[in-house]
């Protein structure tokens, strides 16, 4: 069986790639993609930890993962609506160009 | 499984949901000029809900209900009442907002966020905690960007969403690691599984840091504060007031419950992180507030420094410390909602938001000038207002726990804070309009504003004078954390 550490490494890598994307990309849609990668890393963590734990009968980890992606869907739909609303108003989805509010 | 206790424990949330449904049902049938009545329905409904909860939903001995998801205790109950009070006041302030007041869905979003905050205060499980934090956040993203025709508001919603999702995802990664190391999502089981020897101190530091990112964002402490000034300035003013009070208090409720209950073995790790962040928040918040000219941005930086003060009570890790944080939040909710309500009432008539625009306010509307005095002196921490007593308790808790250096930083910062709060009052009382014809430019208050503002002023003064019963309630709540 594949050891648990492999899954955790994969999740950590995925999380880091997502975080890198969020911090580096300027396009709002790309930032959202980065956040989705990070959420998937969390799900891999949760399911892997659950599978390798002693308490397989308690569904804690799986329920947590299901709730995470349900919430992620709700979050992204609201987020895309806000991006569209900003785009209609300002004609851009580049985060740097939305800079009316500063200092 | 389902007993009367189960329903009593979530009675406030059931009632809030009912109010939201009533608003959705009635609002389409009202004519355009009646639609603002949704505000009366929300505020009145919340008051009735508070009364019913106090009569039938009082907790006894702390118990876990709904499969351990919710902990039914005084700590959660007292905070729930605070959030509902804040939401009722916000609904009254929203009513006369030109673009938002007639939109039923704004009140429904407010109530949805309120359900999330209520559950944040009472959840005892990581799954429920994450779900409630998101339930509180997502409607607030929408409310911050509610004015789709306004460039500032859309930008505020956009920024709040981007920062918010990132912070909550990082926190969630921390939750997943906690679940992995302890094998459980229940806070009490985590506490017994995670003993000092079971994971290395470095790992504990990493996990706690990840969680602090998400919670620090919710309570807007430095360095997770960048969203606050922008969002407060761009969002509709009553929404900004709600964000800076109820949303922040809910964040503190989670900080207290999560760290006190789940990580008692790692106290030295998380108190160290929080103490440093508290010191930085107070200092940076106050120093950045000094040069602000927009009153909403000034209040945003002031709210960042207030989060720093309140954090001292959490750092103390004692019953008195937790009680002082809860009391601080009560005083802060009344004071800051009052401040934002006055800003809203002023900009509704004049359309202006700069500090210098407040020149001559004491002559244009003496009552508003007086209420401004109460709000800003309370924020500055002057007796006989709530802010003073709250600061005394928090600092006392800090000294008791041997965090004297942190308390000294706090006291120096309160002195810096007095400068910019008094600066606003200087314009209100000492300066006059350019033409010195203030009587020709009155600022009338509508009925709903008068009710909301007067109730909040009474709250600020009560919390500063007869604070005994309020502190006893906070203390009874804090007792449930140990």
Q: What is the pLDDT of residues B298-333, one digit of tens each?
A: 999 999 999 999 999 999 999 999 999 999 999 999
Question: Which residues of B, range 200-239, sit inside 8 Å of A by Cβ?
Answer: 229-230, 233-234
Q: Which residues of chain B have pLDDT under 50?
A: none
Burial of B442 (0-12, 13-18, 19+ CB in 10 A): exposed
- The ipTM assigned to this model is 0.96
Tell me if B158 and A86 make a contact (CB, 8 A cut-off).
yes
pLDDT score at B1:
65
Lookup: tokens for B476: 């009874």
Find the closest chain A residue to B67 by CA distance: A60
Question: Which residues of B, range 271-330, sit inside 8 Å of A by Cβ?
Answer: 297
A91-101 in b/e form (b: 16+ CB < 10 A) is: eebebeebeeb
Segment holding B64, helix H or strand E: strand B63-65
Is there a contact between B94 and B110 (Cβ–Cβ < 8 Å)? yes
CATH T-level fold of A4-94: Helix Hairpins (1.10.287)
Query: Considering CB atoms only, which of A18, A78, A103 is closest to B141?
Result: A78
Residues of A in contact with B177 (CB under 8 A): 45
Residues of B in contact with A81 (CB under 8 A): 142
Nearest to A42 by CA among B132, B167, B176: B176
Q: Is B130 on the interface with A (CB under 8 A)?
A: yes
Residues of A in contact with B175 (CB under 8 A): 42, 64
Q: Which residues of chain A have pLDDT under 50?
A: none
Shortest distance between the Cα of B356 and any Cα of chain A, in A, equals: 17
Tell me if A31 and B161 make a contact (CB, 8 A cut-off).
no
Q: Is B132 on the interface with A (CB under 8 A)?
A: no
Nearest to B36 by CA among B98, B88, B89, B83: B98
Query: Considering CB atoms only, which of A38, A64, A75 is closest to B138?
Result: A75
pLDDT score at B105:
92
pLDDT score at B98:
86
Q: Is A7 on the interface with B (CB under 8 A)?
A: no
pLDDT score at B411:
95
Cα separation, B38 vs B22, in Å, equals: 9
């Amino acid at each position: 069986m594949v050891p648990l550490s492999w899954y955790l490494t994969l999740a950590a890598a995925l999380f880091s790639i997502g975080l890198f994307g969020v911090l580096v990309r300027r396009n709002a849609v790309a930032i959202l993609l980065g956040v989705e990668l990070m959420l998937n890393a969390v799900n891999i963590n949760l399911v892997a930890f659950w599978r390798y734990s002693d308490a397989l009968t308690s569904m804690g980890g799986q329920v947590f993962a299901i709730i995470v992606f349900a919430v992620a869907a709700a979050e992204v739909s609201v987020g895309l609506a806000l991006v569209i609303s900003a785009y209609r108003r300002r004609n851009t989805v580049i985060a740097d160009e939305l800079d009316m509010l500063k200092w | 499984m389902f007993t009367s206790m189960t329903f009593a424990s979530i009675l406030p949330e059931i009632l809030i949901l009912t109010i939201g449904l009533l608003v959705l049902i009635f609002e389409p049938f009202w004519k355009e000029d009646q639609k603002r009545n949704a505000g009366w329905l929300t505020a009145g409904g919340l008051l009735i809900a508070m009364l019913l909860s106090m009569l039938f939903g009082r907790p006894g001995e702390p118990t876990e209900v709904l499969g351990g998801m919710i902990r039914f205790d005084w700590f959660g109950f007292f905070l729930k009442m605070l959030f509902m009070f804040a939401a009722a006041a916000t609904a009254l302030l929203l009513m006369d907002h030109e673009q938002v007041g007639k939109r039923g869905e704004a009140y429904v979003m407010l109530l949805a966020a309120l359900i999330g905050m209520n559950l944040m205060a009472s959840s005892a499980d990581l799954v429920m905690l994450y779900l409630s934090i998101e339930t509180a956040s997502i409607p607030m993203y929408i409310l911050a960007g509610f004015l789709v025709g306004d460039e500032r508001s859309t930008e505020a919603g956009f920024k709040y969403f981007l920062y918010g999702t990132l912070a909550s995802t990082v926190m969630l990664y921390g939750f997943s690691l906690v679940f992995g190391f302890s094998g459980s999502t229940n806070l009490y089981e985590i506490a017994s599984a995670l003993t000092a020897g079971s994971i290395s101190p470095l790992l504990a530091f990493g996990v706690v840091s990840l969680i602090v990112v998400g919670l620090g964002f919710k309570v807007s402490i430095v360095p997770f504060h960048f969203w606050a000034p922008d969002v407060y300035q761009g969002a509709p003013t009553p929404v900004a007031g709600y964000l800076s009070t109820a949303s922040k208090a809910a964040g503190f409720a989670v900080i207290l419950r999560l760290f006190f209950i789940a990580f008692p073995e790692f106290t030295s790790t998380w108190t160290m992180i929080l103490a440093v962040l508290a010191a930085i928040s107070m200092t940076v918040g106050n120093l950045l507030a000094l040069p602000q000219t927009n009153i909403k941005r000034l209040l945003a930086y002031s709210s960042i420094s207030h989060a720093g003060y309140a954090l001292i009570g959490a750092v103390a890790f004692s019953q008195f410390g937790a009680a002082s944080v809860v009391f601080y939040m009560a005083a802060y909710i009344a004071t800051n909602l009052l401040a934002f309500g006055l800003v809203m009432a002023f900009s509704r008539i004049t359309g202006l938001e700069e500090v210098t625009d407040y020149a001559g306010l004491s002559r244009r509307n003496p009552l508003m000038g007086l209420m401004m005095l109460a709000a800003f002196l309370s924020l500055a921490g002057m007796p006989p207002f709530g802010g003073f007593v709250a600061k005394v308790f928090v600092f006392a808790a800090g000294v008791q726990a041997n965090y004297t250096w942190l308390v000294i930083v706090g006291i120096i910062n309160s002195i810096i804070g007095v400068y910019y709060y008094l600066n606003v009052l200087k314009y209100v009382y000492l300066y006059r309009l350019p033409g010195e014809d203030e009587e020709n430019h009155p600022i009338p208050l509508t009925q709903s504003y008068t009710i909301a503002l007067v109730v909040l002023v009474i709250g600020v003064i009560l919390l500063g004078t007869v604070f005994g019963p309020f502190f006893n309630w906070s203390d009874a709540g804090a007792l449930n954390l140990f």
